[in-house]
């Protein structure tokens, strides 16, 4: 990819970021949308979050993992336990990642 092509590609990507994030924010007049959909979209963020997390935890190379000996599962379990106990995000991240690293680097899982 030449420098010019790269710049054009990146310019387009920036426009895509702006257009998608501002889709309903930028127009002066409200875009029509049925009320039930507007209400239902409250569930979109939780859906998006879980959609990113679930495959990261239980899949590898596009397949469901077939073993419980996976460092990620223990990391997630430790993170869950910490969150239930302390309700603090920073601790959850540290404990979850730390546990995963112990199992991965220590046991090779």
Partner 1 sequence: MPPSQQRLRTLVRHPEFARGAREMVGVALGIGAWGLVTGMAMVKSGLEPWIAVLMSLTVFAGTAQLAVAPLMASGAPIWVVWATALCLNLRFVIFSSQWRPYFAQMPLKRRALMSYFTADLNYVLFMRRFPERRPAPEQLPYFWGGVLVNAGSWHVLSLVGITLGHHIPPEWGLGFAGTVALLAMTYSMLADRATWLPALLAGAAAVAAYALPLKLNMLVAIAAAVAVGTIIDHAKPRRKQAA
For residue 100, the tally of other CB atoms under 10 A from its CB is: 20
Minimum Å distance from CB 66 to partner 1? 13
30 is a contact residue toward partner 1 (CB under 8 A): yes
Scanning residues 55 to 74, which ones bind partner 1 (CB under 8 A)? 55-59, 62, 64, 71-72
- Rank residues 45 and 66 by Cβ distance to partner 1 and give the closer one: 45
Residue 63, helix vs strand vs coil: strand
CA dist 75 and 28 (Å) reads 46
For residue 105, the tally of other CB atoms under 10 A from its CB is: 10
Scanning residues 7 to 26, which ones bind partner 1 (CB under 8 A)? 7-10, 12-14, 16-18, 20-26
Beta strands 63-64 and 59-60, pairing class: antiparallel
CA dist 64 and 62 (Å) reads 7
Minimum Å distance from CB 55 to partner 1? 6
Minimum Å distance from CB 85 to partner 1? 12
107 is a contact residue toward partner 1 (CB under 8 A): no
């Amino acid at each position: 990819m030449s420098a010019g092509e790269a710049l054009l590609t990146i310019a387009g990507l920036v426009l895509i970021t702006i257009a998608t994030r501002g889709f309903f924010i930028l127009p002066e007049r409200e875009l029509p949308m049925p009320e039930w959909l507007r209400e239902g979209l409250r569930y979109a963020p939780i859906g998006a979050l879980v959609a990113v997390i679930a495959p990261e935890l239980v899949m590898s190379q596009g397949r469901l993992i077939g073993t419980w000996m996976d460092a990620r599962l223990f990391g997630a379990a430790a993170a869950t336990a910490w969150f239930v106990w302390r309700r603090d995000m920073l601790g959850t991240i540290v404990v979850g990642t730390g546990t995963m690293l112990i199992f991965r680097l220590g046991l090779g899982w």
